[in-house]
Structure 1
């Protein structure tokens, strides 16, 4: 680095080092006498030559800005005065010998300032790191606010705070001093026509810091083809590295560099713009280019990978105000374009995976029906998927905004409860969620036909829709679908349960007398008992395999069935038990027994019906069938 920046120049006596008019701009209306110029040259020679590394061993090993800050300020002031005098003199006599002497001194001074600029940047890397720079203002405001409100009762705690604050303050002081020194040198060199030399040092050192920072965050430059060949586990690790690093990169690395660059080159908007752009452009494009390359390959991956794409989209979009503010220069527009392209590609990828997810539901070809009409694995998978998607509702709302929803002809109004009016269109994300659930329910309708017992088909539909409703109620999906959607589908669950009850237990209910049992003859009563025994045992044998996984729905269904059977049977039983005293085989079940059998339904069983046994008409301690809970 020293060889690059501090190589000896040719002798100032050479014609190539005569002062160039392009270096100096005349100041109208000013005139400089020979005596005044001579005085300025003598003062400048004494100050500048002391720090000429080519002629002074002391200057070669000593830092001007570290040795004596007052002398450093005098050095800068002297150079500025010399530069102003040369500006004035060049308009009077561009071939003046004093301009040659001044130019020689200026080159020595600029060489010295280059060295000092390099040393400050190099030796203060720890104090000029982006984290320290980006935190300066917030720390300062915190410190001032805490010191203004002290109380005697808090002295012990405040003492610890002051000790910590002093440590932070020391770091900040070094940082502030270094930044102010860099600014003073930069302004001096730029005003003297040596901006190129100053910027060369700054760009090389600070770009290396940015590039190193990006690398330490685990973000590497990767092409789309490299990602395409990468194993998913390895790619996911790279994605996680990117996700954990992107916030730090924006809020600390790039923000810190912008603050430092704005401070050091505050005197020139064009210089600080070009400088910041050159330092950060490559690292920022690597950072914001990674999601685009990933997105191009995610479309061909399982829909389950959609959440990684949503995470990356959220990481960029949530920090967009900061990104737009930091890279606000025209010269950094390529960085903003890259970030926008990544958002576009990630959005395309998410929409493609949602479409693929719908296709997966429609193509599901599993033949086995859950035993007892339970919840299908497809239902569990889809609702778990949608529950996680609902947590990304804000991101999905952006991605799906303006994206064509399913055609209205394929959205039954009764299903979605969408108004005919176009004045209140449902958000695209809500339509998409409702549509995916409809696709699932249509698939479940097909799967319900796998049951030979129609009543079990309805129980299957009730179980699965209840699972869907429960998941919606307990997730962010309820805010997308709305309370009306939940209420409507709870009503559908009740309808499915009622159909199951009608088909599964209708014959049992029909076997009981509709009129008052007191009006029945003994023979009619006997026939009624026979019919009830046959239908109850047949229904119990078939329905004992049934399972209802939701506890609330299970209790509601058992109560509804028991209300229609046990009460009527009890009245019939009480009226006829006396005259049927000798018919033990005919009067098999006491009302309590019937109630016990019904209360043990919907936990699943072997379906053999072997646990259903006869009891005496007076038995109230009937042994209940065993139940297997699933």
Structure 2
């Protein structure tokens, strides 16, 4: 250790002599002063290896400087010639060694070389095929075929669809990667690692952003989040579909490929992880920021389908991110992706809550003409049926307790089944409130049967809904329908059937029967005309209600006609409607003709 320290001290003296000794005489005088001061600086020790009058050192420095200046003054890329590239690296190695030997002039030269090396580094990345002496096959791009270069410059060129994500892009040829590795080693050794990272990020970040742009994703600033939230949903739907594709390509192909490239270029260097993170940070954040803006915007029910597709996209890539964003610098991107996944799940649950609120807020002030199907019933049932196409995802989202799908399916009711059953109960309560608007109790029953039957049909027509809702709900709904039918029978045709009762007559004479026949005709016409304007869209339900009406009227009417004909000689002249005609009239009911006539007028 003492000998090493003495050698360094002697080297400092040599350096001072070279620096201050403008002439040979001045250098000798300086060395003599040191020799008189300390015997270790005796002339024979200092000049043991070479002369210290500066002649040899200056010749060496001049030669090195000439080599450096020759490369720095070159107007073409140094790496366009492999021999020049190798020679330039040797010059840099010599400069680095000289700086280590406390030769200040080498510092300035090294700094200039680093600036040029940084330019060469960036050029190799941005234009590897025209610079590199190698001629590999270019990497697969994302440009769409037949793209019109003369078109609108502001139009996003959407790439061809990507279906296979199980491959890696070699964005640079192997020779360029090897050259970049050698450059990165020199820059890191010279203390210019940060500059190397900066150059790499500037070049590669542009490639990533351009690739994502060609997938149809526009660059948005942080302030554009409000723009996304305020945009019309129809405008965002297409962008969301492109976002889903871009997430898959970026997180499964682009970023893993970039990780691999960084590991090859910066192999063995501590700046590899920082380079990867700084390159991917902005394009990855752009994608996540868009998803976060959508998740934070309105939770209108119609958004469920696109939000589910976003949830599925980010959920499916999250398991693969641990291997990509695994270091201390990029781990935050993995955390942010997981956070977006959870936030989109919360948004989906919030959309179901908003659907609940939408049903509750639907006003009960305007009755559907003729007691027909209410728009809210059609909307909710079609909505639930369509949503159940994503049953597995919705089960996962609703499982806030984290039980997992295996445990969910083993339970009597899954969280999604409970949610849907609740929505349908809310809908049923809303419909019952709307039914009270009708003045005729029988029409209220028609309204409830119409809407209840539609709900039943939608459940039975969807295997997913049938499984989720279960047979118990179907039985309960069928019981409700029977009750509404019974209420209909009690509250309609009652005026007609009251006239047809002859049990209370002490002596059903011809005059009394004639009077009843007149009243019967009036009541029948009134009831028939009213119910002819009522609407039952489902043919099966319409037949069932007609049969129920006929079951009430026809037996009593036939009995009444039999008695009337027995006591009235000219009964045939006074009977306005035969039994066949009355039954025929009943079979014309519930087609909404009155409403049709009003619309035509």
TM-score band, normalised by shorter chain = 0.5 to 0.7
- What is the alpha-carbon distance in structure 1 between the residues aligned to residue 84 and residue 449 of structure 2? 84
Q: Is the 8 A contact 1:121 1:205 kept in 2?
A: yes
Deviations 1:312-348, CA, capped at 9 Å, x for gaps: 3344224333445433334222112222333343344
- What is the alpha-carbon distance in structure 1 between the residues aligned to residue 488 and residue 346 of structure 2? 44
Q: Is the 8 A contact 1:288 1:338 kept in 2?
A: yes
What is the count of residue pairs matched by the alignment?
Answer: 491
Q: Does 1:555 align with 2:543?
A: yes
Q: Does 1:368 align with 2:359?
A: no
* Structure 2 CA distance for partners of 1:297 and 1:576, relative to 1, 3 Å: closer
- What is the alpha-carbon distance in structure 2 between the residues aligned to residue 458 and residue 485 of structure 1? 20
* Structure 2 CA distance for partners of 1:434 and 1:177, relative to 1, 3 Å: closer
Aligned to 2:282: 282
Unaligned runs of 5+ in 1: 1-12, 16-33, 35-44, 137-171, 405-421, 608-624
* Structure 2 CA distance for partners of 1:226 and 1:105, relative to 1, 3 Å: closer
Aligned to 2:587: 599
Aligned to 1:359: 357
- What is the alpha-carbon distance in structure 1 between the residues aligned to residue 598 and residue 71 of structure 2? 100
Deviations 1:100-149, CA, capped at 9 Å, x for gaps: 99x99999998887555433312248999xxx85789xxxxxxxxxxxxx
Aligned to 1:500: 488
Aligned to 1:482: 470
* Structure 2 CA distance for partners of 1:332 and 1:544, relative to 1, 3 Å: same
Which of 165, 173, 180 is the matching residue for 2:174? 180
Deviations 1:258-290, CA, capped at 9 Å, x for gaps: 314414533348543222111011221232123
Q: Is the 8 A contact 2:304 2:348 kept in 1?
A: yes
Q: Is the 8 A contact 1:545 1:606 kept in 2?
A: yes
Deviations 1:129-171, CA, capped at 9 Å, x for gaps: xxx85789xxxxxxxxxxxxxxxxxxxxxxxxxxxxxxxxxxx
- What is the alpha-carbon distance in structure 2 between the residues aligned to residue 108 and residue 453 of structure 1? 95
Q: Does 1:540 align with 2:528?
A: yes
* Structure 2 CA distance for partners of 1:318 and 1:222, relative to 1, 3 Å: same
* Structure 2 CA distance for partners of 1:114 and 1:536, relative to 1, 3 Å: same
In the TM superposition, what is the alpha-carbon distance from 1:377 to its structure 2 partner?
3.2
Q: Is the 8 A contact 1:546 1:604 kept in 2?
A: yes
In the TM superposition, what is the alpha-carbon distance from 1:401 to its structure 2 partner?
1.8
In the TM superposition, what is the alpha-carbon distance from 1:362 to its structure 2 partner?
2.4
* Structure 2 CA distance for partners of 1:189 and 1:296, relative to 1, 3 Å: same
Which of 80, 101, 119 is the matching residue for 2:123? 119
Q: Is the 8 A contact 1:295 1:309 kept in 2?
A: yes
- What is the alpha-carbon distance in structure 2 between the residues aligned to residue 125 and residue 397 of structure 1? 51
Q: Is the 8 A contact 1:117 1:182 kept in 2?
A: no
- What is the alpha-carbon distance in structure 1 between the residues aligned to residue 429 and residue 275 of structure 2? 60
In the TM superposition, what is the alpha-carbon distance from 1:534 to its structure 2 partner?
5.8
Aligned to 1:42: none
In the TM superposition, what is the alpha-carbon distance from 1:307 to its structure 2 partner?
5.0
Q: Secondary structure at the match of 1:482?
A: helix
Q: Secondary structure at the match of 2:285?
A: helix
Deviations 1:285-318, CA, capped at 9 Å, x for gaps: 232123324433426xx55555554443344224
In the TM superposition, what is the alpha-carbon distance from 1:572 to its structure 2 partner?
7.5
* Structure 2 CA distance for partners of 1:461 and 1:324, relative to 1, 3 Å: farther
What are the equivalent positions in structure 2 for 1:185-264 lying under 5 Å apart? 185-192=179-186, 193=189, 196=193, 198-214=196-212, 217-223=217-223, 226-227=226-227, 231-233=230-232, 237=235, 240-252=238-250, 255-264=253-262
Normalised TM-score (structure 1): 0.62
Unaligned runs of 5+ in 2: 1-13, 17-48, 50-59, 133-137, 143-166, 403-408
In the TM superposition, what is the alpha-carbon distance from 1:579 to its structure 2 partner?
8.4
- What is the alpha-carbon distance in structure 2 between the residues aligned to residue 510 and residue 268 of structure 1? 100
What are the equivalent positions in structure 2 for 1:608-623 lying under 5 Å apart? none
* Structure 2 CA distance for partners of 1:533 and 1:583, relative to 1, 3 Å: same
Which of 444, 453, 460 is the matching residue for 1:466? 453
Q: Secondary structure at the match of 1:241?
A: helix
Q: Secondary structure at the match of 1:593?
A: helix
Q: Is the 8 A contact 1:603 1:627 kept in 2?
A: no
- What is the alpha-carbon distance in structure 1 between the residues aligned to residue 562 and residue 333 of structure 2? 87
Q: Secondary structure at the match of 2:394?
A: helix
* Structure 2 CA distance for partners of 1:490 and 1:328, relative to 1, 3 Å: farther
Q: Is the 8 A contact 2:367 2:438 kept in 1?
A: yes
- What is the alpha-carbon distance in structure 2 between the residues aligned to residue 324 and residue 564 of structure 1? 72
Aligned to 2:416: 429
Larger radius of gyration: 2
* Structure 2 CA distance for partners of 1:14 and 1:285, relative to 1, 3 Å: farther
Which of 332, 335, 339 is the matching residue for 1:334? 332
Q: Secondary structure at the match of 1:60?
A: coil
Q: Secondary structure at the match of 2:291?
A: helix
Deviations 1:558-590, CA, capped at 9 Å, x for gaps: 244345655775688689869867323443222
